[in-house]
Chains A and B, each alone.
Chain A
């Protein structure tokens, strides 16, 4: 897979605040690239730099193998974006918004094509209603339709599930999966809904305070050879047992009844057996492998 986006040493300073600090990453063709970080981590700033809405202080961005600064127009012609809330022109209808954004993307579409595209996001029957009468979910779907109106190869979605109800979130997830798996588009998706990202992302980047924490494929990040294991026990001598055994070298932290160790996945049954044999009551013993737990463990660090 060839890289669609290559970001090198990207930095953005807002007066004294370093919003993005020497960030480098790569997005490959056809993948869904998850972009994770806490509020204020620098996700939106990075996404806006990818769309040339914000001028980087330093660093390089290449999209489709072209330098963004030098080939902005060519790149943006092949890029669709939905940034945060898709605030469209509320006083226009969905159809008018679509037509307007198609023209801005240098595409002339027939009315029937626009209607087809609106039908794909379930807005065919409301095509001629003003956007101000839409629900948040409808606006979100229209925003996605507008981002796709010129059939871009790269789609950048900043918090696409924001403000959606569970059904809306599920619909958005299906659309992302469809765009990636069926239509073969490359997607960069930032979201704080970690479970959603876990379900749709192929690769991901976690940033914290503008810096890269970790980058890689979701499967590799969530299923490593070594994993953090959480032990919950009421036994008071559990910690002293671990500290006086070979397991001590894997001990990460112990707070009250919660003890965490980083051990090889294969060793978990052996560890459990030893605990039981030594009279330690095991309430729970499980690997911490959900994205949320992984994210929290990474960003806390």
Chain B
């Protein structure tokens, strides 16, 4: 009986625990009102061949984020800006379930599954892997209505006290790219045949290595305007 009671109450108890954990994480992130950071962005998308880009990342509470390549051209995945952990932590009405523990890149993490209750949210489901000791999110998998699923893996070092990563790797769904026939006559250097085999590989990856965070020094709203 006791066991039955324990078992029936366990999720609620655990839900309360994970919400506390999420609150602790949110509080940590809340210490940062805004930041700017320099970063090196590597793009690994099947059809994009891009060099390492020097980017500048801007953040402003509660959920404004902008990645800009000040000098050159970069193709920033829309999800990396629209969908971030702050979107998840800023949710008011959600259910959280403890998904147990899992190791991510050698760090023991608590897995928290989050389901927004409101139908209006773009996020349909999120799974956060939280380092309970440091109270930071190591990995998040966020499913959205419009942009598919995004996976974000972060590693921390110098700015862990602010919950800011030194490196973030975003994995996202990509669509196949193929120019319509007749739009151009290409030079066939024999490499397209290999790509046809890899077409199924539809995940793209963007890796940003951060440096020079400038935290809580104020960021103008105009930065986030398109």
Q: Is any CB of A less than 8 Å from a CB of B in the complex?
A: no
